[in-house]
């Protein structure tokens, strides 16, 4: 329990360390959680935000705008990246944020929520508006000058030259590249500050073929060919392995509608790509933390059973201690049966401890060749030791020879412990027929897989339950008995190992979970 609390606290520290507000909502558009930076906007603690909708937040008059974009992400399953929106905090002050929203998927690829990040761009927006106003003012002054000097050709040419220079200065000062191609792919114009980051100058590439200049960048060449065929294209390309550009081509047509060339604009989006990669890494860390939560839940279940067994053994040891004390005081030799009972108790204490130590190892991902028969037998032994299979008849059928597979031992153990524990829980309330769990391990040489089938004679599941068992947080167990993460985690673990999990169930007849893993050649 202390370890679980530590993991939860660490997750919260990571979220609260982020300087930008972060939130996530469910399908009903109510908040499932947020970091401290987001909670400060609402003047609340993070835990007080959970369960609220935007209509209950300080920005309630903007709730419909926020939820419209939420619904778009949930409906399409596609992210909305870096759009500006207004946010009103608890202090009543309006801020402008650059907001990104991405869908959250469950293990089956279904959208289950939306994750959003906010970056305050109020200062940048005000500066941009100021620059626009300044540019408009400069443009107005230039227009007045042109009207005043309309009759003077030389003055008009000077004004045009100045305007062209300003445009070139603006393009060269920005992280972008502007160029044009003729119908054969020859560069007829090129400028922009992005050229310098590639070690190029306009005069070096004008007159060159884009197909020869970027022969080592097949994606850029393919996009240019597509553009010269008349297609408007937008692609994100990586140049020189570390520079990311969003490139857009627009065809140039003559009066008859024939293609005479194309104009390309490339914007440096390296920082955006890096931010997306960081977000994906953060999501992967969160998934790993959920995996550890489920592993600790399994360990807790076994530990509770082992604790009960150890109490029984302690009763035996206390009785033996009393008998040995009396024999020592009277000089009588210990009874052989009592000594054998002492040996049994010591052996069982050591077995219980070893099982807990094995399961409590950190989640190792080392892949090695293992015999699945050994893993199934070891998992059954752990559950018997913990008392979870005490009132269950368990049968295990397997081939006489090893069933080799190349996997992470600890991850397959977690899969087996989860499926076997679920089967034991399923038959707990069975009346009128045997409470039985059957495990069958086999090889399919044609398919190249090993199959393990875990059947129970429990109550079974109706179709509407079967449709939800792989959704995170879904559980049919009473409070305190299940996290709702077991089966989603198990299926993800198997898929990472190249396997799959399927289920069959009929109400009143029990359930059967079958997983397969790729076979490995036997050790040489």
SS3 217: coil
SS3 238: strand
Q: Computed from CA positions of residues 124, 19, 80, 60, in that sequence, does the dihedral angle turn out positive or negative?
A: negative
Nearest to 71 by CA among 132, 25, 2: 25
Here the contacts of 354-360 (C-beta below 8 Å, separation 24 or greater) are 355/302, 355/306, 355/381, 355/382, 355/385, 355/386, 356/299, 356/302, 356/303, 356/306, 358/382, 358/413, 359/295, 359/298, 359/299, 359/302, 359/413, 359/417, 360/299
Listing DSSP states for 120-139 in one string gives: E-HHHHHHHHHHHHHHHHHH
Rounded to an integer, what distance in angstroms lies between the CA atom of residue 233 and that of residue 249?
Answer: 5
CA dihedral 270, 273, 279, 285 (to 10 degrees): -90
Q: Which residues of 62-86 are buried (b: 16+ CB within 10 A; e: fewer)?
A: beeebbebbeebbeeeeebeeeeee
Give all domains of the chain, ordered by start, each with its CATH number: 1-167 (3.30.450.20), 172-273 (3.30.450.20), 363-518 (3.30.565.10)
Q: Computed from CA positions of residues 377, 382, 385, 390, in that sequence, does the dihedral angle turn out positive or negative?
A: negative
The helix, strand and coil proportions of the chain, stated in percent and rounded to the nearest 5, come to: 50, 25, 25
Task: Tell me what pLDDT residue 49 has.
Answer: 92
Rounded to an integer, what distance in angstroms lies between the CA atom of residue 237 and that of residue 265?
Answer: 12
Cα separations (Å) of 499 from 21, 167, 278, 294, 496? 38, 58, 28, 19, 7
| Max Cα–Cα distance, the chain, nearest Å | 132
Task: Tell me what pLDDT residue 165 has.
Answer: 67
Task: Tell me what pLDDT residue 304 has.
Answer: 47
Q: What are phi and psi of 21, to 5 degrees?
A: -60, 140
Nearest to 195 by CA among 212, 168, 180, 176: 176
Q: Computed from CA positions of residues 406, 408, 414, 417, in that sequence, does the dihedral angle turn out positive or negative?
A: positive
Residues of the chain with pLDDT under 70: 1-6, 8, 150-151, 153, 155, 160-165, 167-175, 193, 237-242, 283-284, 286-324, 327, 335-365, 385-386, 473-485
Rounded to an integer, what distance in angstroms lies between the CA atom of residue 131 and that of residue 146?
Answer: 22
Enclosing H/E stretch for 244: strand 243-253
Task: Tell me what pLDDT residue 474 has.
Answer: 59
SS3 98: strand
CB 20, CB 119: distance < 8 Å: yes
Whether the full predicted model's pTM is greater than 0.85, yes or no, is no
């Amino acid at each position: 329990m202390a370890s679980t609390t530590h993991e939860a606290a660490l997750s919260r520290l990571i979220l609260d360390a982020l300087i930008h507000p972060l939130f996530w909502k469910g399908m009903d558009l109510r908040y499932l959680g947020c970091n401290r930076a987001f909670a400060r906007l609402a003047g609340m603690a993070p835990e007080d935000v959970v369960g609220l909708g935007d209509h209950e937040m300080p920005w309630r008059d903007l709730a419909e705008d926020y939820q419209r974009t939420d619904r778009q992400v949930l409906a399409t399953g596609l992210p909305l990246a870096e759009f500006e929106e207004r946010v009103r905090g608890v202090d009543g002050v309006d801020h402008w944020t650059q907001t990104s929203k991405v869908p959250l998927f469950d293990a089956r690829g279904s959208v289950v929520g939306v994750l959003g990040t906010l970056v305050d761009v109020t200062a940048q927006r005000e500066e941009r508006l100021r620059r626009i106003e300044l540019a408009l003012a400069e443009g107005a002054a230039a227009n007045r000058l042109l009207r005043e000097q309309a009759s003077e050709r030389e003055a008009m040419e000077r004004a045009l030259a100045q305007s062209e220079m300003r445009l070139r200065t603006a393009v060269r000062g920005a992280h972008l590249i502007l160029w044009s191609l003729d119908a054969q792919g020859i560069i007829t114009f090129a400028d922009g500050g992005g050229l310098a980051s590639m070690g190029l100058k306009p005069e070096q590439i004008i007159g060159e073929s884009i197909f020869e200049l970027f022969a080592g960048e097949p994606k850029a060449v393919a996009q240019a060919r597509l553009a010269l065929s008349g297609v408007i294209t937008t692609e994100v390309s990586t140049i020189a392995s570390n520079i990311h550009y969003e490139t857009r081509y627009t065809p140039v047509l003559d009066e008859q509608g024939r293609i005479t060339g194309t104009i390309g604009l490339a914007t440096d989006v390296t920082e955006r790509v890096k931010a997306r990669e960081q977000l994906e890494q953060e999501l992967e860390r969160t998934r790993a933390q959920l995996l550890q939560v489920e592993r600790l839940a399994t360990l807790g279940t076994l530990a509770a059973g082992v604790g009960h067994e150890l109490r029984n053994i302690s009763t035996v040891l206390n009785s033996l201690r009393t008998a040995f004390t009396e024999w020592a005081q009277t000089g009588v030799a210990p009874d052989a049966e009592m000594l054998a009972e002492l040996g049994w108790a010591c052996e069982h204490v050591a077995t219980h401890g070893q099982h807990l130590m094995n399961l409590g190892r950190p989640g190792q991902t080392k892949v090695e060749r293992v015999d699945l028969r050994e893993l199934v037998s070891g998992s059954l032994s752990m559950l018997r030791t913990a008392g979870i299979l005490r009132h269950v008849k368990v049968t295990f059928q397997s081939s006489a020879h090893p069933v080799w597979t190349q996997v992470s031992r600890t991850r397959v153990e977690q899969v087996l412990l989860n499926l076997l524990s679920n089967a034991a829980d399923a038959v707990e309330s069975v009346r009128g027929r045997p409470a039985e769990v059957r495990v069958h391990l086999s090889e399919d040489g044609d398919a190249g897989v090993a199959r393990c089938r875990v059947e129970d004679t429990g109550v079974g599941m109706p179709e509407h339950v079967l449709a939800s068992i792989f959704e995170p947080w879904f559980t049919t167990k009473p409070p305190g008995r299940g996290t709702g993460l077991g089966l989603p985690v198990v299926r993800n673990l198997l898929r990472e190992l190249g396997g799959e999990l399927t289920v069959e169930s009929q109400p009143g007849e029990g359930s059967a979970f079958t997983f397969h893993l790729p076979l490995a050649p036997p050790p040489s």
